[in-house]
Amino acid sequence: MLQVADSIAKIRSSFSWSIPERYNIAASVSDRWAQEDPQRLAIRHVHEDGAAEVWSHLELNRAANRFANVLKAHGVQVTDRVGILLPQSPRVAICHIGIYKCGGVAVSLASLFGLEALKYRLLDAGVKVLVTDAAGLEKLSQVQDALPGLEQVISVDGRGAGVFGFDDLMASARDTFETVLSSPHDPALMIYTSGTTGQPKGVLHGHRVLLGHMPGIELSQNFLGQEGDRLWTPADWAWAGGLLNALFPALHLGVPVVSFGFRKFDPERAFQLLRDEGVRNAFVPPTALKILRSAASDSVIRGLHLRSVGSAGEALGRETFDWFHDAFGFSVNEFYGQTECNAVLGSSAAAGISRSGAIGMAIPGHTVAIVDAEGNELPPETQGQIAIKRPDPVMFLEYWNKPEATQEKFVGDWMLTGDQGVQDADGYVHFVGRDDDIITSASYRIGPGEIEDCLLMHPAVALSAAVGKPDPLRTEIVKAYVVLNEEYQDSPELADEISRFVRGRLSAHEYPREIEFVSELPLTTTGKVIRRQLREKARA
């Protein structure tokens, strides 16, 4: 759908959607390649000890066929929900593809979920079959009595009491299966929102969601699909970022994927993986990029083969953007979206779309604007809410079992993101912050992103988050939570120095009047800062 060009004007003029009447994700990421180029590398999985597990498209397809037959044998019908609670590995891809093949709905679950988070999602989604590992079984054993709809549990670590062994079932299943001829609008995938601003909601997507992602992902990877491309992401494949910003777009284009299941993100191990596996393309969320910065050196960077890096999930910030360009010699391509409607704004240095401090422009095929509360488009340089117009193939079908919440997401044909932004005269969109994250101080409305970006410029600061703390005089004051670099010790003097540092670079109303040093920030499983928890802490 996307033609290679050196300007956004040329790309837009030649772009058109191509959404067939019948479309199934499994057919485009697996069936097609198994037929056209069966020995083509699909996934190269690296284990903790460095040993690699290699999967061709034919092997991946046959395994997915086996799993589809397993699901049918266990009574899974069209639209039944099947949960996947596994770390990044080929089995995650096998399960997803197998579920799509038989018309089920894959419910993506992160291994980092605690007991209540897991129970809530399994119960809310009405999961019928769950595939997990020993760690997942340990959690499940404590909540399973509250899950009457969960009929079957399959473990990749072998069978047990009331649990089927994944390998046992796969060994006896046929490796042929006729993929269901789905409509692109049929339900395929459910991913729960991060829960940064309240109870998570099940975001239900149709098969079309992958095609809707392709223009944004191709652009953010400087036209992904070039000779020799090989993609990796540290993002959990349970998250929309891991699945739809990396795994499935790469498989759709025939680009090999490198996988590695980090227990905890390790920047030195990540650099080693990038070097040893010859990774050419990476999707790295902003928090992970900031952590990589701590382990980056000229010698480490010189040993890499990267030609493109895309980043999304939260604001990247000017400081991280500029550091990356100076260190790597090319620009990281920031892009934007939500679980509900992803990859709709973005950058691509190869297409001439790149500006420090900006998310990027509207991706071809998507209509994005800054609107007021009534859905009226605002003029350039005016702050408002980022909104996406329907219909759009990347847009969600609905919030699972929440019709009122689905309706509240829209004003007319505009899907409201809940994110504040500003569009400049050239069409670049600048992210200000989530509606809930905006700080109101002495009549000023302050986005946390610019403050956090400035904090990162101080040599002592490794990570930071800014929130509003109630204040009787100013309504709120800016309070910053700061994680220090290892060589620095917290002290009142350092807090005062950092506060003055920000004040000297921003303005008198934006600097943090309070700084609290913490050992870590609360993060979602996708690496986003949970500012809600920090706001509650500040109020307390």
Is position 37 within any domain?
yes
Say which residues have a Cβ less than 8 Å from residue 283's Cβ, sequence separation at least 6. Answer: 220, 221, 231, 232, 233, 235, 241, 242, 245, 246, 309, 310, 311, 312
**What pLDDT, on the 0 to 100 scale, is given for residue 440?**
77
Instruction: Identify the pLDDT of residue 525.
Output: 63
Look at residue 97 and tell me if it is in a domain: yes
H-assigned helices in 102-133: 115-125
- Cβ neighbour number for residue 402 with a 10 Å cutoff: 16
Structural domain ending residue among the three candidates 186, 206, 226: 206
Per the domain annotation, does 456 fall within a domain? yes
pLDDT at res. 198: 57
| Residue 391 is assigned to a structural domain of this protein | no
pLDDT of residue 432: 86
347 part of a folded domain: no
Give every CB contact of residue 413 below 8 A, 6+ residues apart in sequence: 389, 390
Count of C-beta atoms within a 10 Å radius of residue 21: 7
Looking at 206, 238, 261, which one is the last position of a domain? Answer: 206
Task: Return the pLDDT at 310.
Answer: 98
* Alpha helix segments (H runs only) across 365-517: 403-408, 448-456, 492-505
Predicted TM-score of the model (pTM): 0.87
Phi/psi zone of residue 475: left (φ > 0), alpha (ψ -120 to 50 degrees), beta? left
- Residue 259 domain-assigned? no
Q: Which two tokens stand for residue 98?
A: 């197998």
What CATH number is given to the structural domain containing 529? 3.30.300.30
pLDDT in tens, the chain (540 residues): 688 998 999 999 999 999 999 999 999 999 999 999 999 999 999 999 999 999 999 999 999 999 999 999 999 999 999 999 999 999 999 999 999 999 999 999 998 888 888 999 999 999 999 999 999 999 999 999 999 999 999 999 999 999 999 999 999 999 999 999 999 999 999 999 865 555 789 999 999 999 999 999 999 999 999 999 999 999 999 999 999 999 999 999 999 999 998 878 889 999 999 999 999 999 998 888 988 998 899 999 999 999 999 999 888 889 999 999 999 999 999 999 999 999 999 999 999 999 998 999 999 999 999 999 999 999 999 999 999 999 999 999 999 999 999 999 999 999 999 999 999 999 999 998 877 788 878 667 787 888 998 999 999 999 999 999 998 877 889 999 999 999 999 999 999 999 999 988 887 778 999 999 999 999 876 677 888 899 999 999
Could you give the number of structural domains in the chain?
2
What pLDDT does 36 receive?
98
Q: What are phi and psi of 71, to 5 degrees?
A: -65, -45
Domain-embedded: residue 77: yes
Secondary structure (3-state) at 462? strand
Residue type, 319: E
* Residue 294, pLDDT score: 84
CA distances from 43 to 86, 90, 92, 133, 247 (A): 16, 7, 11, 20, 9
**What is the DSSP code (8-state) at residue 31?**
I
CATH label of the domain that carries residue 179: 3.40.50.12780
What pLDDT, on a 0 to 100 scale, did the predictor assign at position 507? 73
User: Of 156, 187, 206, at which residue does a domain stop?
Assistant: 206
Domain range enclosing 172: 18-206
In a domain, 463, yes or no: yes
